[in-house]
Amino acid sequence: MIDGTQSGGAPSQLARLGGHISGIARTGGPWFLCRPHGWEDRLGLEFTAASKRAREWGVHDCASFADRCVVAIFGASPWTDEFRAYETEMGAALATRRAGGFEAQLDRFADRIDWRRAWRGDLAVIDVGGDLAVGVVDVGAVLVAGDPAGLAARPLSSAVTVWGLAH
């Protein structure tokens, strides 16, 4: 892929995005993310901190937890400001609907992948009792915030959709 093509001559994501390989770059398509040095330690610290928090809409819920994890890994948030502007369960539902749903928000900056290709720190949408929630992939599981205990782990195989970050 030195020349910006994948096997078979198709342009790679790097070539499509103008060659940006560090940090987060928007170039008219999905964001290209490169995991910087130390991301695993920062993500682990976020997991530990999140496991001690009670659910609070807009502060510690599934979307805000996923957002903090992406910031821990990459140093910037991909969420739109409108998507993060809520303080109640109803506000979260409205913000999600305005953004077109979790899938539309995540499709803006990451590529969908098969759950078997997921890495630690990737994002996944899972069904939790009939409601969709966004979570963060850990080893073999999807961690979702909002549980009374802070974080709940669900089997990665139960993910409805998974997005790879910097694959």
Query: Could you tell me the CATH number of the domain that includes residue 82?
Result: 3.90.1720.10
- Indicate the average pLDDT of the chain: 81
- Give yes or no: residues 95 and 129 share one domain: yes
Of the ranges 53-62, 139-148, 158-167, which one carries the lowest mean pLDDT score? 139-148
Q: Is the pLDDT of residue 23 over 60?
A: no
Over its C-alpha atoms, the chain yields an Rg (Å, rounded) of 16
pLDDT score of 46 = 97
pLDDT score for 129: 87
Same-domain status, 60 and 92: yes
Mark whether 53 and 22 lie in a shared domain.
no
Is there a single domain that holds both residue 134 and residue 75? yes
Between the CA of residue 41 and those of 32, 69, 97, what are the distances in Å? Answer: 21, 11, 33
Q: What is the pLDDT of residue 32?
A: 52
Same domain, 2 and 41: no
Residues 100 and 29 in one domain: no
pLDDT at position 27: 39
Interval 93-119: pLDDT, tens = 999 898 888 898 899 888 999 999 999
Q: Does residue 67 carry a pLDDT above 90? A: yes
Domain span at 149? 37-164
Indicate the number of domains in the chain: 2
Please check whether residues 22 and 45 belong to one and the same domain: no
Residue 80 tokens read as 């739109």
pLDDT at 33: 56
> Are 63 and 16 in a shared domain?
no
Residues 110 and 148 in one domain: yes
In the chain, the N- to C-terminal Cα span, in Å, equals: 14
Higher pLDDT, 132 or 8: 132
Scored b (16 or more CB within 10 A) or e, 34-51 reads ebeeebeebbeebbeebe
What is the reported pLDDT for 115?
95
Q: Examine the domain organization and report whether 90 and 28 are in the same domain.
A: no
100: which residues sit within 8 A by CB, 6+ positions away?
none
Q: What tokens does 77 get?
A: 């948030």
φ and ψ of 105, to 5 deg: -65, -45
Residue 7: predicted pLDDT? 39
Q: What angle do CA 72, 100, 13 make, to 5 degrees?
A: 55
**Domain match, 46 and 2 both:** no
Q: Which of 142, 140, 146 is nearest to 154 (CA)?
A: 142
Same-domain check for residues 124 and 140: yes
Question: pTM (2 decimals)?
Answer: 0.79
**Tokens 């976020």 belong to residue:** 46
